[in-house]
Amino acid sequence: MFKRSIITVLALSSVLVPFVPLGAQQKLDPTINDKIRQEEEQHSQIMRTLHFLTDVYGPRVTGSPSLKAAGEWSIKTMTSWGFTNGHLEPWNFGHPGWVTDHFEVHIVSPVKSSLVVEPLAWTAGTKGTVTAKAFNLIVPQGPLVPMSPTPAEGGRGGRGGPSTPQHFQPTQAQLTSYLESIKSDVKGAIVLVGKTVFVPVNLDPTPGRRNEEDLKRQYDPNAPEGAGRGGRGNQPTPPEGTLTARQVTQQIDEFLVANGAAGRVNDAGRPHGQIVAFDNATYDITKAVPTVVMRNEDYGRIARILADGTPVELEMNIVNTWYPEGATAYNTIAEIPGSDKKDEVVMLGGHLDSWHSATGATDNAIGCATMMEAARILKALGVQPRRTIRVALWSGEEEGLLGSLAYVKEHFGSAETPTPEFAKLDAYLNIDSGTGRARGAGIFGPPEAAAVVRQALAPFQDLGVVGASATRSRNVGGTDSTSFNNAGLPGIGFGQDPIEYNSHTHHTNLDHYERVIEADVKASAISIAATLYQLAMRDEMVPRFTKETMPPPVAAR
């Protein structure tokens, strides 16, 4: 799921009701749901698919050879299942591919120990092992953030211990004055940027399963949009003149380059050795020194020793390979041809790319495996869909939904500037929130669109499916279904039980095959296959907003 901006795509309208036929339709198999369940229980390929996408081809950074190889393997596999038109569809990423071949950081004085780190993607290499003094650059604090008198409604509860006061970022004058004062300290040094993050013990962890009553409120047809999801509260406005976190990071990077720092270390700021390492957002090794993210426990140890006045010496080695051909990235496409409505298309998919700190199992190899499996089930059962079923595995999602946005623009345009294909897309189904079973689905469209999805999902209450909902939001963020929503198309995003997603695996160095629950992902494949069947076989396409009722456009990234 796209970094830094996790936006829920489930929204408004509807609780499951007992299943009723979807109109006076032809060619529907009344036993299809039983057949789908049986096929998945007896002949599932979902964990085998996950194994190859993670163990063999992970990690899968956009522009890297491993991501392209994962797409090629997926095409070969889907072709062996009987799919057609398998191909890699190029789009312009505009940046070289990057793979880290080797990295290590050690403390060599006053103690000796290996340190747990992950490099930023697209960071520079060190050109050999560098041994250097450590220096802790502590960014000056801005004004204190006002404390809320009460917790935000819908909060998750405390993490134990008193709250740590939070500060806004500094002003430009504060930052400039501080950086000028430490020029000689950073020259030739490996620089720890920032105070150690205090990570309190979590005495109230988030439950692994969604609360049933919350889900029912969320899918209540009379509930306002976003009901049942809790809130973040009103975020305080920074005082005039304070910098943003992005501005501070950029200026520190420029300062470290200009003053000859040997490397940069960021605090992961997470418990139990978890590390989230994103990227050198410039993709330019001349604009940032070699940078790693260090587990909170190691970072804190070094910072405390430095605070004692004891010198610390570190050793860093980062070796990378760059791939200029990665500037062209690829989405992976394969189809099951339709019959009497073959010019109409039902799409489903997830993003195949991942970050580099692990093998990208819960984000989002299992989402791709689930969608491939849902389509495979129908093909294995001999279903001849009326509409063409198209599987799409995206790249560039982690960098901002880039692959799906490029595909939507190329193939469909938007409600305001449609291509001929715009009117032929029935819906796009997406899953991208880890290993948890699907609990419901949100669709961009009027309430009638949610009713179609709700009826398709109704027979699967025993698998934990609670409802379907409709949203009017065309905002882009969080996951690839919003690329379709943004264009005014029916994007369907499946909501899931959180399990360990946000607390442990999302974007972290722990995101491996072992974190996937087989029973949950099989359940998701079953309910999604049934939804796919109904959409591919209906007489009518999923209801859409009309020209008059279409929400106004929102600029994509």
The region, left, alpha or beta by phi > 0 then psi within -120 to 50, assigned to residue 63 is: left
Q: Point out which residues pair with 438 in neighbouring strands.
A: 496
pLDDT value, residue 159: 35
Which residues, 6+ apart, have CB-to-CB distance to 527 below 8 Å?
Answer: 438, 457, 460, 463, 465
Mean pLDDT computed over 534-551: 98
With a cut of 60, say whether residue 13 has pLDDT above it.
Answer: no
Q: What is the pLDDT of residues 63-79, one digit of tens each?
A: 999 999 999 999 999 99
With a cut of 60, say whether residue 229 has pLDDT above it.
Answer: no
Domain 97-143+167-202+242-324: give its CATH code.
Answer: 3.50.30.30
Q: Residue 5: is it exposed, middle or buried by C-beta count within 10 angstroms (0-12/13-18/19+)?
A: middle
pLDDT value, residue 272: 96
pLDDT value, residue 2: 63
Does the pTM surpass 0.85? The reply is yes
With a cut of 70, say whether residue 303 has pLDDT above it.
Answer: yes
Token code pair at residue 525: 């494949």
With a cut of 50, say whether residue 5 has pLDDT above it.
Answer: no
How many angstroms separate the CA atoms of 176 and 460, rounded? 59
Q: Specify the domain boundaries for CATH 3.40.630.10 within the chain.
A: 32-95+327-537
Cα of 498 vs its chain's centroid, Å = 13
At 149, the pLDDT band (50, 70, 90 cuts) reads: low
pLDDT value, residue 453: 96
At 234, the pLDDT band (50, 70, 90 cuts) reads: low
Mean pLDDT computed over 260-269: 98
Contact 287, 183 (CB under 8 A): no
Mean pLDDT computed over 297-325: 98
pLDDT value, residue 217: 85
The CATH class of the 32-95+327-537 domain is alpha beta
pLDDT value, residue 235: 74
pLDDT value, residue 21: 45
How many angstroms separate the CA atoms of 550 and 414, rounded? 11
DSSP conformational letter for 26: S
pLDDT value, residue 471: 95
Mean pLDDT computed over 121-130: 98
Higher local confidence (pLDDT), 7 or 205: 205
pLDDT value, residue 79: 98
pLDDT value, residue 53: 98
How many angstroms separate the CA atoms of 103 and 501, rounded? 26
- Phi, psi (rounded to 5 degrees) for 453: -65, -40
Mean pLDDT computed over 287-313: 98
Q: What is the pLDDT of residues 206-219, one digit of tens each?
A: 999 999 989 988 87
Q: What is the pLDDT of residues 419-459, one digit of tens each?
A: 999 999 999 999 999 999 999 999 999 999 999 999 999 99
How many angstroms separate the CA atoms of 20 and 204, rounded? 41
How many angstroms separate the CA atoms of 74 and 56, rounded? 12
With a cut of 80, say whether residue 510 has pLDDT above it.
Answer: yes
Q: What is the pLDDT of residues 42-64, one digit of tens each?
A: 999 999 999 999 999 999 999 99
Contact 393, 360 (CB under 8 A): no
With a cut of 50, say whether residue 354 has pLDDT above it.
Answer: yes
CA-closest candidate to residue 457, choices 22, 139, 7:
22
pLDDT value, residue 81: 98
Mean pLDDT computed over 336-349: 98
Containing 491, the helix (H) or strand (E) segment is: strand 491-496
Instruction: Write down the number of H helices and E strands in the chain.
Output: 13, 16
Mean pLDDT computed over 517-533: 98
CA-closest candidate to residue 384, choices 341, 333, 334:
341
Token code pair at residue 532: 């796919």
pLDDT value, residue 227: 59
With a cut of 60, say whether residue 160 has pLDDT above it.
Answer: no
CA-closest candidate to residue 83, choices 393, 456, 521:
393
With a cut of 70, say whether residue 33 has pLDDT above it.
Answer: yes
Residue 174 CB neighbour total at 10 angstroms: 17
Contact 50, 359 (CB under 8 A): no
Q: What's the whole-number average pLDDT of the chain?
A: 92
Q: Specify the domain boundaries for CATH 3.50.30.30 within the chain.
A: 97-143+167-202+242-324
At 557, the pLDDT band (50, 70, 90 cuts) reads: low
Range of lowest pLDDT (158-162, 195-199, 434-438): 158-162
Helix (H, G, I), strand (E, B) or coil at 274: coil
Percent of the chain at pLDDT exceeding 90? 85
